[in-house]
Amino acid sequence: MSKNKELLWQSRFSLPFDRDALLFSSSVHVDRKLYREDIRGSIAHVTMLAEENIVSREEALQIITGLGEIEVELSEGTLVPQWEDEDIHTVIENRLKEKIGPVAGKLHSGRSRNDQVATDTRLYMRSQISDLEEALGGIMKVLLDKAETYRETIIFGYTHLQRAQPISAGHYYLAYFNMFNRDRQRLRDLKKRVNVSPLGAAAFAGSTLPLNPARTAELLGFESLFPNSIDAVSDRDIIIEFISACATVMMHLSRFAEDVILWSSYEFGYLEISDAFATGSSLMPQKKNADIAELVRGKTGRVYGNLMTILTIMKGLPLSYNRDMQEDKPPLFDSAETTVQSVNIFARMLENTALKEDRLARLTAEDLSLATEIAEYLVRKQIPFRDAHRITGKIVTWSISNGVTLPKIPLGQFREFSDVIDNDIYDCLKPEASVNSKKSHGSCSFASVAVQLEEAGKVL
Ligand code: ARG
């Protein structure tokens, strides 16, 4: 059995840490992802230590040079983090000691792994938030293009997954545009709370050394500084907030995925996904499946699970730092990566879809979804809406039982239901007339969609 490497805290103990216990507690396989953030934080810390004369300029230079080399070794794979080192912070510190000797130990002056890992996590989140913001900007751009392309294409709008009223397809795409825009606003707002430096809180109570936390905050590009050292090391609510924002993005994507899956099915037949973004079956040669949309829908479950994981980890933890909090990283990393990847691939798939305009034109022209037009026509002829609704209901029943679509019902027949109906009824029984008769704010008419498109363009 190989001997343990020295752990940062070993000196107080008379027995070496049990290997199984160490294997169980090691987080290197997860937190190795933070090596760049860790080195960046360390360089800022030691720069401040030198400025405050806590270490000498020469020592700081040695440490910074060593850390720079370690970053290269880690990125090139010549330094492979070993689980025996407990966590990535220890991997880097042990390697620094190998390179420059005992002076490496000065890097930890006035710093604990508690404020160190909180700093690394915030730096990681800051960059992931930017990546997700960019990904959302990307899908919003695709949606804007789709809305522009199909602004005068008429599709069915649904409620309860029943055909409800005809709408401009542009209106539909802009609905998703607005959802992703709010997701992006949520992230921008969250960034203010993430961009706060916890470095200088030390283990949780602060330090006897004359640290300058404002300086490290500045060096790391944080907007502000922790107000309370206990909170700085023990709070993870920004992770909860971030995963919650990711879960909301995934929820939006998952609803969209559901539309894509349904609309590309034979039964709906509204949407064609390019072969480059569809999959087949190993058994049934005719199959064309929307696997990308299905996977996004499936991964949504993972991100929801991550939110429950982090909420549950934090529930009931006494102040301040507890080792439980090491378990924050798998859900954080997984949520960030899954969400960015899902948004990016969904946007590319969406780019590679086309509405089947001929079929949609045929279906919408004959559909019962024009019934609301009849009711509103009657209202314009001074019939109270409740009566108009009842009369139209009877017309719909007649249409179904006689197999005659609404626009094909003869005027004489219409007049059996209400004598206020005239020839002009046929003008409103066209999907385009229906769509464009909508006059209210933010509605589905071509004119309203044009206004919305202009506003959306400004947002981007
Ligand atoms: N690996 C630990 C984590 O990610 C680092 C902090 C360890 N602190 C401690 N007091 N044991 O949370």
Q: How far is the CA of 15 from the centre of ligand 1 (A)?
A: 21
34 lines ligand 1 (CB under 6 A): no
* pLDDT of 381: 95
- Say yes or no to pLDDT of 360 above 90: yes
Backbone angles phi and psi of 168, in degrees to 5: -70, 135
* pLDDT of 1: 44
Residue nearest to atom 7 of ligand 1 (CA): 113
87 lines ligand 1 (CB under 6 A): yes
What does the block give as tokens for 4?
A: 């343990």
Residue nearest to atom 5 of ligand 1 (CA): 113
What does the block give as tokens for 440?
A: 């209210």
Q: What DSSP element (H or E) covers 136?
A: helix 113-149
**pTM of the entire predicted model:** 0.93
386 lines ligand 1 (CB under 6 A): no
- Say yes or no to pLDDT of 215 above 90: yes
- pLDDT tens by residue, 369-382: 889 999 999 999 99
CA distance 211 to 409: 85
Q: How far is the CA of 211 from the centre of ligand 1 (A)?
A: 21
pLDDT tier for residue 437 given thresholds of 50, 70 and 90? confident
SS3 112: coil
Q: How far is the CA of 22 from the centre of ligand 1 (A)?
A: 13
Among candidate residues 244, 224, 227, 247, the one with its CA nearest the CA of residue 235: 227
Query: What is the number of other CB atoms lying within 10 angstroms of the CB of residue 443?
Result: 17
Residue nearest to atom 11 of ligand 1 (CA): 323
- Say yes or no to pLDDT of 11 above 90: no
Q: How far is CA 103 from CA 56, 66, 86, in A?
A: 10, 11, 21
Best of 29, 113, 233 to mutate for ligand 1, by most ligand atoms within 8 A of CB? 113
Residue nearest to atom 10 of ligand 1 (CA): 114
Spacing of C-alpha 103 from chain mean position: 43
Q: What is the average pLDDT value for the chain, to the nearest integer?
A: 95
Give the end-to-end CA distance of the chain in Å, rounded to a whole number: 60
Taking a C-beta distance cutoff of 8 angstroms, is the pair 233, 226 a contact? no
pLDDT tier for residue 320 given thresholds of 50, 70 and 90? very high
Average pLDDT for 161-178: 96
CA distance 378 to 393: 12
What does the block give as tokens for 322?
A: 């507890």
Rg (CA), the chain: 31
* pLDDT of 14: 86
Q: Express as a percent the part of the chain with pLDDT over 70.
A: 99
pLDDT tier for residue 2 given thresholds of 50, 70 and 90? low
SS3 35: helix
Ordered structural domains, the chain, with CATH: 16-109 (1.10.275.10), 114-203+225-361 (1.20.200.10), 366-429 (1.10.40.30)
What's at 319, amino acid-wise? L
113 lines ligand 1 (CB under 6 A): yes
Q: What DSSP element (H or E) covers 394?
A: helix 385-402
- Identify the residue whose tokens are 């230079």: 61
* pLDDT of 287: 84
What's at 380, amino acid-wise? R
Taking a C-beta distance cutoff of 8 angstroms, is the pair 288, 280 a contact? yes
Ligand 1 atom, smallest distance to 329 CA: 4
CA angle 268, 271, 274 (to 5 degrees): 135
* pLDDT of 369: 85
* pLDDT of 3: 58
Average pLDDT for 84-91: 96
Q: Using DSSP bridges, classify how beta strands 162-168 and 154-159 pair: parallel, antiparallel or unpaired.
A: antiparallel
Q: How far is the CA of 322 from the centre of ligand 1 (A)?
A: 8
Q: How far is the CA of 50 from the centre of ligand 1 (A)?
A: 25
- pLDDT tens by residue, 249-283: 999 999 999 999 999 999 999 999 999 999 888 88
Query: What is the number of other CB atoms lying within 10 angstroms of the CB of residue 2?
Result: 6
What does the block give as tokens for 399?
A: 């249409």
Q: How far is the CA of 326 from the centre of ligand 1 (A)?
A: 6
- pLDDT tens by residue, 29-67: 999 999 999 999 999 999 999 999 999 999 999 999 999
- Say yes or no to pLDDT of 148 above 80: yes
Query: What is the number of other CB atoms lying within 10 angstroms of the CB of residue 355?
Result: 19
What does the block give as tokens for 395?
A: 């017309």
CA distance 246 to 183: 8
* pLDDT of 240: 98
Tell me which residues are annotated as active site: 160, 281
CA distance 278 to 139: 19
Ligand 1 atom, smallest distance to 112 CA: 8
- Omega before residue 320 within 30° of 0, cis: yes
90 lines ligand 1 (CB under 6 A): no
